[in-house]
Structures are given as structure tokens and as C-alpha cells.
Amino acid sequence: MSTQEYRHIVRIVGNDIPGERKIIVGLTQIKGIGYNFATAILDTLKIDTNSNIGNLTDSNVQDIEKLITDPIGGKFPIWFLNRRKDIESGADLHLLTSDIPFTLRNDIERERITASWRGYRHLSGLKVRGQRTRTSGRKGGAVGVAKGGLAAPVKKGDPGAPAAPAADTAAAPAAEKKEAPAEKKE
């Protein structure tokens, strides 16, 4: 390592990674590479995961790129890849960087064109995988009853409290209620 010069920026698969980052964290900055995949790459190449990425040699960087672009050639199991049995090619792939959102958009568009149930759900902006939609996944403003009036309850005896109704006004509506059924009898 003493003969290798420290690099402040390392370029791997088109991504610039700061040299002061740990190798494991720096590899996860590449879209399509998670923590487990980065650990598997470093274990396969027998590179220390705690060293900084700026200390990598040119041959190490080339080996890492080779494993990232062709994980099947590096004896990674098929279940480790993020795109198995691709619909268009039928091959097992591992997508990286800008290929991920591009492929996702194509898949959704294909489902919309074929008018599948998933396509309809995507088109409507609803949940696709069978989740409940009664309470979650709502869009737009708040749903519920709007608060009206005072925010806190008013105690009796407060100057702002409404006055109790008079005894005469309370008895009058009760008398009217008794007379109403008698009028309906005709």
C-alpha cells in the first residue's frame, strides 16, 4: 500500500466515490449494489472492508468493476441478482445505475398496455400488491371532521361561557312537542 498513491476520488462503474469513505459504504453508493452485495464482492476478492476506498489499487478497482458488471462470472448464485428471468431476454441480470428506473418504467408501461389488473392499479395510482386501502395509501388533503369553535372546553363560571337557558324558554319547546302528535290524529 505504501507504493500506491492515495486517491481522493475513485470512479467505479461510472460513479465518483470519495476516497475517505470505507470501501463497504462506498460500494453501496452505486445504485443496484446493497450492503450484502458489497460484502460478497469484497469477501470474494479478499479485500479488507474497513480500509478506505482511496487506498485501492488500480487492479483492485478493475476487479471490483468486473465482478459488479458480471456477477454470474464471479460465481455468485442466481438468487443474488436483482433481475432474474428478464421478460424480454429471459436471462438472469443484475441491473445497475440508470438501468433500474428505465426497466421499471418499461415494466409498468407493458402492464398498462396489456390492461392487466396490476396495470389498472398503477394507472389509478393505487396499491398494486394487495395491501389494504381503507385507511392507508390516501392522497390529497386530510380526511375527517373539521374543528369548529373553541379549541379548549369552557368551564362553568367563565365570563366567555354561554349562559344557561331561562326556565320559561326551556318549558315552551316541551309543550309544543306534546301538542304536535294531537294535530296529526285527524
CATH of the domain at 27: 1.10.8.50
In a domain, 113, yes or no: no
Mean pLDDT within 31-36: 91
Predicted confidence at residue 19, as pLDDT, reads 87
Number of domains in the chain: 1
Domain, as residue range, for 68? 9-76
Least confident of 17-31, 65-79, 120-134, 148-162: 148-162
**Is 22's pLDDT higher than 50?**
yes
In a domain, 146, yes or no: no
Mean pLDDT within 50-57: 89
In a domain, 184, yes or no: no
Q: How confident is the model at residue 128 (pLDDT cuts 50, 70, 90)?
A: confident
The string of DSSP codes covering 91-150 is --B---TTHHHHHHHHHHHHHHHTT-HHHHHHHHT--SSS---SSSS--SS--SPPP-S-
Predicted confidence at residue 23, as pLDDT, reads 92
**Is 176's pLDDT higher than 90?**
no
Q: How confident is the model at residue 1 (pLDDT cuts 50, 70, 90)?
A: very low
Strands 15-18 vs 9-12: parallel, antiparallel or unpaired: antiparallel
Other residues' Cβ atoms within 10 Å of the Cβ of residue 60: 17
In a domain, 157, yes or no: no
Least confident of 42-46, 92-96, 173-177: 173-177
